[in-house]
Chains A and B, each alone.
Chain A
Amino acid sequence: MSSIGTGYDLSASTFSPDGRVFQVEYAMKAVENSSTAIGIRCKDGVVFGVEKLVLSKLYEQGSNKRIFNVDRHVGMAVAGLLADARSLSEVAREEASNFRSNYGHNIPLKHLSERVAMYVHAYTLYSAVRPFGCSFILGSYDQDDGPQLYMVDPSGISYGYWGCAIGKAKQAAKTEIEKLQVRILLEPSLRQGKILLNCLICVCYCYQQMKDMTCRELVKEVAKIIYIVHDEVKDKSFELELSWVGEVTNGKHELVPKDVREEAEKYAKDSLEEEDDSDEDNM
């Protein structure tokens, strides 16, 4: 595990002797305690999936949403302290709204994520306040710039991604997302006639590259990834929150419609069962 920062970790305004700000790292730990959220960018849009753990059967279905609408064309999926995330979503909304008021057009996502990241960073400078304990993924779709995906972490940096994951199962989720990209690597070598593994060739012909997928296809893959990384033993029930923005919604960010969500969940559950079955056969 990581080292203990005794004495140098009491406030965000203190560096440790080896040049780390422990408060920021602890904030990132808070994100790792929360359940997973992923965002993937495809040819014509962005899809978000969140594994929302249901702590009590008494909760109303659909409460404590972890996907927010920041602007008509921008969505935000969060992981970490939900209250911190809600406050940041308000900040993002104001930024987007002020931009439109001043400049007359939709805020470009890169600029929005930089502005919110700057805000998050400001809270890592002083001892009077604590850093935000949440990471979030911003996604948007625009006719001219296409789909965009950015992630901001508690240290206040924003990165652009094709696919990213935050939360407790982020490593496993990232592996799954990379699998969606592996098909890109195998395709060209196939054309050159170099055969790496026979079984994988058949797989290649069936699947498409992530960057060529449409939102409708990607929704199913996203649901599948969430189901894969969900830990049945440690966490009990969960609600799958899915949202998308792209050509399919005319550039508007919204929660995926009920029928699409049910189809995606069914695909995810069926795929999991298939894999379970194939594992049993091997044994």
Chain B
Amino acid sequence: MEKRFMDSQIKGVSTGTTILAVTFNGGVIIGSDSRASIGGYYVSSKTINKLIQVHDRIFCCIAGSLADAQAVTKAAKFQISFHSIQMESPPLVKAAASVLKELCYNNKEELQAGFITAGWDRKKGPQVYTVALGGMLLSQPFTIGGSGSTYIYGYADAKYKPDMSKEECLQFATNALALAMGRDNVSGGVAHLVVITEEGVEHIVIPGDKLPKFHDE
């Protein structure tokens, strides 16, 4: 019991997840694993969806306490939808990320959830934003998050190139997820990927046995 308590405290809130978002030429791919765990000992769900759609072309992936993340994304989804109707146009990805950031920052004492917001808008095209725990908002060409991300920083830094094609980007994202899920005990299950472009949104699910295999597997 004590060990479990200490483990969660030490790990902080980068709890059992691998999430990532990568821009490519004409769109963005957002991906995650599908494992939810308690304390690193028990897998509470093998097929959870961590990719939440907050608007037609904007998705969010969640890390940290799932309860907090779901509450925040529900509030954000409402605010973004209302904002979009008032503006009479689809929301900017930056606006959606800002809404999440305000929720995280203003409630930072109570919440323990971080997000990656990614999407496409008419003004700036494909974008990726990180909203960290305390409410920091940062725009990046690609980003990785969650406990599993620590195992793939090297891979991501080495293999990412700007302006990839959709296929190259899919390969990059799939490999990254597979590598992370292979080493992180609290990441696993299936790989969820969503490809967002101006034309639409494509959801791809890759079951565990179809993921790319590397040496030793």
- Which of B86, B95, B123 contacts A144, CB < 8 Å? B123
Chain A's closest residue to B95 (CB) is A103
- Which of A103, A108, A111, A144 contacts B98, CB < 8 Å? A103
Chain B's closest residue to A142 (CB) is B123
Q: Check if A191 is an interface residue, CB within 8 A of chain B.
A: no
Q: Check if A104 is an interface residue, CB within 8 A of chain B.
A: yes
Chain A's closest residue to B129 (CB) is A104
Q: Give complex CA distance A105, B123 in Å.
A: 12
Q: Are A102 and B102 in contact (CB under 8 A)?
A: yes
Asked whether A104 and B123 contact (CB < 8 A) given A111-B86, A111-B87, the answer is no
- Closest Cβ of chain B to A114, distance in Å, is 8
Q: Are A104 and B87 in contact (CB under 8 A)?
A: no
- Which of A101, A102, A105, A111 contacts B92, CB < 8 Å? A105
Q: Are B87 and A105 in contact (CB under 8 A)?
A: no
Q: Are B86 and A104 in contact (CB under 8 A)?
A: no
Q: Check if B99 is an interface residue, CB within 8 A of chain A.
A: yes
- Closest Cβ of chain B to A71, distance in Å, is 16
Q: Check if B94 is an interface residue, CB within 8 A of chain A.
A: yes
What per-residue 1/0 map shows which CB atoms of B80-98 lie under 8 Å from chain A?
A: 0001001100011011011
Q: Are A108 and B87 in contact (CB under 8 A)?
A: yes
Q: Check if B137 is an interface residue, CB within 8 A of chain A.
A: yes
Chain A's closest residue to B93 (CB) is A104
Chain B's closest residue to A104 (CB) is B98
Q: Are A103 and B123 in contact (CB under 8 A)?
A: no
What per-residue 1/0 map shows which CB atoms of A80-113 lie under 8 Å from chain B?
A: 0000000000000000000001111100100100
CB proximity to B under 8 Å, residues A103-149: 103-105, 108, 111, 144
Q: Which residues of A contact B102 (CB under 8 A)?
A: 101-102
Q: Are B86 and A103 in contact (CB under 8 A)?
A: no
Q: Which residues of B contact A108 (CB under 8 A)?
A: 87
Q: Give complex CA distance A80, B107 in Å.
A: 43
- Closest Cβ of chain A to B95, distance in Å, is 4
Q: Give complex CA distance A111, B97 in Å.
A: 20
- Closest Cβ of chain B to A103, distance in Å, is 4
- Closest Cβ of chain A to B138, distance in Å, is 12
Q: Which residues of A contact B95 (CB under 8 A)?
A: 103-105
- Closest Cβ of chain B to A49, distance in Å, is 30
Q: Which residues of B contact A102 (CB under 8 A)?
A: 98-99, 102
Most chain B CB within 10 A, of A101, A103, A105, is at A103
Q: Which residues of B contact A104 (CB under 8 A)?
A: 92, 94-95, 97-98, 101, 137
Chain A's closest residue to B80 (CB) is A103
- Which of A101, A105, A111 contacts B94, CB < 8 Å? A105
Q: Give complex CA distance A9, B187 in Å.
A: 71
Q: Which residues of A contact B87 (CB under 8 A)?
A: 108, 111
Q: Give complex CA distance A102, B97 in Å.
A: 10
Q: Give complex CA distance A101, B99 in Å.
A: 9
Q: Give complex CA distance A104, B98 in Å.
A: 6
- Closest Cβ of chain B to A150, distance in Å, is 15
- Closest Cβ of chain B to A96, distance in Å, is 14
Q: Give complex CA distance A104, B97 in Å.
A: 8
- Closest Cβ of chain B to A222, distance in Å, is 30
Q: Which residues of B contact A103 (CB under 8 A)?
A: 83, 91-92, 94-95, 98-99
Chain A's closest residue to B92 (CB) is A105
Q: Which residues of B contact A105 (CB under 8 A)?
A: 92, 94-95, 98
Q: Which residues of B contact A101 (CB under 8 A)?
A: 102
- Closest Cβ of chain A to B36, distance in Å, is 30
Q: Give complex CA distance A102, B79 in Å.
A: 10
- Closest Cβ of chain A to B91, distance in Å, is 8
Chain B's closest residue to A143 (CB) is B123
Q: Which residues of A contact B99 (CB under 8 A)?
A: 102-103
Q: Give complex CA distance A102, B101 in Å.
A: 9
**13 A-B contact pairs sorted by A residue (CB < 8 Å):** A102-B98, A102-B99, A103-B83, A103-B92, A103-B95, A104-B92, A104-B94, A104-B95, A104-B97, A104-B101, A105-B92, A108-B87, A111-B86
Inter-chain pairs besides A103-B92, A104-B98, A104-B137, 15 sampled, C-beta below 8 Å: A101-B102, A102-B98, A102-B99, A103-B95, A103-B98, A103-B99, A104-B92, A104-B94, A104-B97, A105-B92, A105-B94, A105-B95, A105-B98, A108-B87, A111-B87
Q: Which 3 A-B pairs have the closest CB atoms?
A: A104-B98, A103-B95, A104-B94
Listed in ascending order, the chain B residues whose CB lies under 8 Å from chain A are 83, 86-87, 91-92, 94-95, 97-99, 101-102, 123, 137
Listed in ascending order, the chain A residues whose CB lies under 8 Å from chain B are 101-105, 108, 111, 144
